Amino acid sequence: MKNSRRIALSAFALLAIPVLVIGQNTRFTDPDTVIRDHFWGDLYAQGGNSFFCNHPFASRGFTLTAGYVYPMAEVRRELKCGTASQCLDNNAYRQIASDLHNIVPVNTRIEMKRRNARFNYLPTAQPNNECGIKTSGQFVEPPTHAKGDVARTVAYMVSTYNLPWAGTKEIFHNWNRIDPPDDKELARHNRIADIQGNRNPFMDNPGRVDTL
């Protein structure tokens, strides 16, 4: 009897554990609420490091904003839903814009320059800004320490939401190889999985990027 009860309790405990899926964000569809309550309120409630510059911060302040790694301009173009405000009437857009795997803390000034840019290698003669980012027209090259993070995020968006590459596919393959996940990236990924309920398979197995 005791063993049967123990087995039943164990089964109940397993059922009570939230299932973390590999697939789309299905938990959130309100971008403003997600950014306010879950991005700043949960994920970065204790501070963290800015994405491109890797500068530590204790709170958001006025110098940081929530930026999208995969450009939302590309999403709007693919969905053909119009402007940013018009696309909020599109359920698919709202789901994608609420996905925490694609949202990072970025210096506001840097985000203004790069938010709709596609990723590419830029000439070595192109000057870097203070964080090692190169920008030229509609293209941006992140610093080396962020290239793998960008690649695995873009691969997730391409695979999960059937979006086009935000740059040449081979570039992201290379960036994924030269900059493997570090402890901070893995910790962030696990925290997002807890909050949002789904995982980025390219974080769990970076080699999968080459299969796309």
Task: For 102-146, write each residue's pLDDT tens digit.
Answer: 999 999 988 988 888 999 999 875 666 778 898 888 899 999 999
* pLDDT surpasses 60 at 15: no
pLDDT of residue 50: 95
pLDDT of residue 11: 36
Task: Report the chain's mean pLDDT, rounded to a whole number.
Answer: 87
Is the whole-model pTM more than 0.75?
yes
Joined together, the tokens standing for residue 97 give 């814009």
User: Of 153, 146, 170, 162, whose CA–CA distance to 52 is shortest?
Assistant: 146
User: Of 49, 161, 167, 68, whose CA–CA distance to 114 is shortest?
Assistant: 68
45 contacts 195 by C-beta, under 8 angstroms: no
CB-based contacts of 163, cutoff 8 Å, min separation 6: 70, 74, 75, 78, 157
pLDDT in tens, 112-123: 888 889 999 998
pLDDT in tens, 37-55: 999 999 999 999 999 999 9
Q: What are phi and psi of 118, to 5 degrees?
A: -90, 160
pLDDT of residue 38: 97
pLDDT of residue 20: 43
- Half-sphere exposure at residue 158, Cβ-oriented, CA atoms within 13 angstroms: 20
pLDDT of residue 22: 55
